[in-house]
Amino acid sequence: MISVIIPTYNRPSLLMDRAIPSLLQQTNPYWECLVVGDGTDEDTIAAMQSMCVQDDRFRFWNLAHDMYPDGMAWGLYGLTALNFGLDWARGEWISVLNDDDEYTPDNFDVLLSEARRTGAEFVYGMSDTLKDGRVTGQLYGAYPPGDGNVTQGAYLYKRNLDYRYRHDCYSRGRNGDADMWIRMRDDGVNFAFIPKIVHHYHRGWP
């Protein structure tokens, strides 16, 4: 089973109309979804409470909102929520999806197939990029793993690796996501990359 962790904050329409539908459309149905609010709004709470009643693969928590240092928030968003999700995950594999992005329907099957073929503990593919609903042509995903070469939503990794996101990532000049992947790489985790788009990254900045 795959444990999908979605950290969220005050974006109920994107969460419910984009991210979660892409999960429900997976060709592989063997997953659970842990949605963790970072002190999110009442609309998100109500929507997720309803979703949990409709589909018991979903679980939802709403934590107290994190306080982020000025000028450093972007790379720290959701790290506490992500670590909370990791603590409660029950699957063999972990996937993380941002609340405004979406999987391709074959994401899990493509990545699991490559993991089985290679024996990798961390397997990732590519993300295309959309801006205002239009494909920009920018792609993310390359080997070796590192900052800019891996995106949330485009990977699976074994839960028993037991890594956590660290809030001191900026002391190493990295955001929280890249910091964890680079620590994995440096510790000798077995990575595999497949040059196939498995994730749609919706870019909010120019």
Burial class (CB in 10 A: 0-12, 13-18, 19+), 64: exposed
Average pLDDT over residues 67-96: 86
What CATH number did the domain enclosing 53 receive?
A: 3.90.550.10
pTM attached to this predicted model: 0.95
Is it the case that residue 206 has pLDDT exceeding 60?
no
| Confidence at 64, pLDDT banded by 50, 70, 90 | very high
- Give the pLDDT confidence of 87-133 residue by residue, as tens digits: 999 999 999 999 999 999 999 999 999 999 999 999 999 999 999 88
Determine the pLDDT at residue 69: 72
Burial class (CB in 10 A: 0-12, 13-18, 19+), 185: middle
136 is in which domain, residue-wise?
2-202
From the list 90, 94, 62, the residue with the least C-alpha distance to 165 is: 94
Counted domains in the chain: 1
Determine the pLDDT at residue 39: 93
- Give the pLDDT confidence of 10-44 residue by residue, as tens digits: 999 999 999 999 999 999 999 999 999 999 999 99
Average pLDDT over residues 59-85: 83
Label the pairing between strands 31-38 and 58-63: parallel
How far apart CA 36 and CA 96 sit, in angstroms, is 11
Determine the pLDDT at residue 181: 93
Determine the pLDDT at residue 67: 81
| Confidence at 76, pLDDT banded by 50, 70, 90 | confident
- Give the pLDDT confidence of 136-192 residue by residue, as tens digits: 999 999 999 888 899 999 999 999 999 999 989 888 888 899 999 999 999 999 999
Average pLDDT over residues 42-59: 97
Label the pairing between strands 122-131 and 31-38: unpaired
Determine the pLDDT at residue 68: 73
